[in-house]
Amino acid sequence: MRSRNAHVFLYALCFLIRFCLVSHSPESFSKQGRDLGLRSTWKKLAIALTLLGMGQQAFASVLAEDRTDFLYHRYDGGGVTIDGPSVLVRKSVGKSVSLTANYYVDMISSASIDVITTASPYTEERTQYSLSADYLRGNTTMSMGYTNSTESDFDANTYSLSLSQDMFGQLTTLTLSYAYGDDTVGRSDDPNFSEDNSRQQYGVGITQILTRNMIAALNVEVITDEGFLNNPYRSVRFLDTNSPVGFSFEPELYPRTRTTNAVGIRTKYYLPYRAALEAHYRYFNDTWDIESHTGSIAYVHPWRDFTFTAKYRYHDQTGAHFFRDLFARSEATNFRGRDKELSPLRSQTMRLSAAYEFINDGWNFIDRGTVNVSLDYLQVDYKEFRDISTGAPLGSEPFYALDATILQVYFSFWY
């Protein structure tokens, strides 16, 4: 029984490696549109939700089961509401090929701090289509995927490849991955504005069963960006004695290249009463002088047909070298940014989730069915980004803090 559990959890942990490689950098793999800080956070979640259903194959000797997911997600915080559905279908073709298709929608209503201080609230819709295929041959799984994400002022195409090799009696799994992103950034108020951005992502992950009750994974990623990396709508503020409020705005300007590096380790330990403890740590740095430490711990407890999870995550980062809340003058430096996500910050996330298996003995063509509900509470303190919407005198504005809730509800069916 424990051998079978180790096999299942190895597959799950390999999926978590893939999730880390794709979604845990300060900016998501897709280029953000109007509200860059919000989009960065939410697109990480969107990718995570997509992969939760897709479960890109990393365990080399078993293809994923046939499965259909129906999901609803909702983000509410910082003056922003995002919600929408997602549908995923995964089906095997013979014994060696598994195909996956996913449709995902974000409906966005934004009056965030970035928007209300320099622009007008807006509503927008983002649609995403994903296709992927896994090919199993012996102890090797080859995977490829394509994702298109479209908004009124942004279009992103991502192509991905990965290779997983199971070794040493299925105790070790090595995964190599590569992804290429080709994005086009526009402006809804300027049909002639068009900028390109390309991104390449390289990942290496290794998963090891250490004992019958413990498993660990180490992953390393490098991402290179080149092109238009800032937000076409965002502005920076600078001191201006001719302004009644003491400052004025001008467009931000980012470097056109960026390289990020990250290394993470994740462990999972199974307790005697079928529960499990999970721990994760990740170190990140980049050529913009951002350095971050992220850690999390989770407890998973099964009870009858339910599985309950409680998780705490902590994140601390320094700011980009060109970030300033207030510049000394217009065009004070070669590069300028006031994106709050590039400032020094500290965040905490608490999650409670429950899964219920309501079909476990089969029903018509369905072998198994589960319903999953999770609620996250996110709290972010920005150490150098001031809330100028308060109208406080220049230099005495309070530092901005964000509180948000994230709800996910999805049904999964295996057949």
pLDDT above 90 covers a percentage of the chain that reads 77
φ/ψ bin of 94: left (φ > 0), alpha (ψ from -120 to 50), beta (otherwise) = left
**Per-residue model confidence (pLDDT) at position 13:** 35
At residue 180, the pLDDT reads 98
Q: Report how far residue 385's alpha carbon sits from residue 90's, in angstroms, rounded to the nearest whole number.
A: 43
The total of structural domains in the chain comes to 1
pTM here is 0.84
Given a cut of 80, whether residue 218 has pLDDT beyond it is yes
Read off the pLDDT of residues 140-188 as tens digits, 9 standing for 90 and up. 999 999 999 999 999 999 999 999 999 998 899 999 999 999 999 999 8
How many CA atoms does the CB half-sphere of 329 hold within 13 Å?
3
Q: CA 62 to CA 137: how far, in whole Å?
A: 10
β-pair partners for 128: 104, 149
Please provide the average confidence, as pLDDT, over all residues in the chain. Answer: 87
Q: What is the rounded average pLDDT of the residues 96-110?
A: 95
DSSP letter, residue 333: S
Supply φ then ψ for residue 321, to 5 degrees. Answer: -65, -20
> Domain range spanning residue 336?
2-414
Neighbouring residues of 92: CB distance < 8 A, sequence distance ≥ 6:
63, 66, 98, 99
- Is the per-residue pLDDT at 229 higher than 50? yes
- Flag whether pLDDT at 5 surpasses 70: no
pLDDT for res 4 = 34
pLDDT at 1 over 50: no
Count Cβ atoms below 10 Å from residue 157 Cβ, excluding itself: 15
pLDDT tens-digit readout, 231-289: 999 999 999 999 999 999 999 999 999 999 999 999 999 998 889 999 999 999 999 99
Which residue intervals of 78-188 are DSSP H helices?
113-118
**Poorest-confidence range of 30-39, 73-82, 139-148, 197-206?**
30-39
pLDDT of residue 169: 87
Compute CA distances 240 → 236, 333, 391, whole Å.
12, 16, 16
| Strand extents, DSSP E, 26-153 | 67-77, 80-93, 97-110, 122-137, 140-151
Q: Is the pLDDT of residue 395 over 70?
A: yes
Query: Residue 389 sits in a domain of what CATH number?
Result: 2.40.160.40
Q: What is the pLDDT of residues 330-376, one digit of tens each?
A: 999 999 999 999 999 999 999 999 999 999 888 888 999 999 999 99
The arithmetic mean of pLDDT across residues 122-133, rounded, is 94
Is the model's pLDDT at 122 over the cut of 90?
no
Q: Tell me the pLDDT band of 61, cut-offs 50, 70 and 90.
A: low
- pLDDT grade for 118, boundaries at 50, 70 and 90: confident
pLDDT of 362 reads 86
Q: Between the CA atoms of 301, 71, 146 and 284, what dihedral angle is there, to the nearest 10 degrees?
A: -50
Element (DSSP H or E) covering residue 313: strand 306-317
Q: Does residue 14 surpass a pLDDT of 50?
A: no
What residues have CB less than 8 Å from 299, skipping those under 6 apart? 275, 276, 277, 278, 309, 310, 311
Q: What is the pLDDT of residue 355?
A: 98
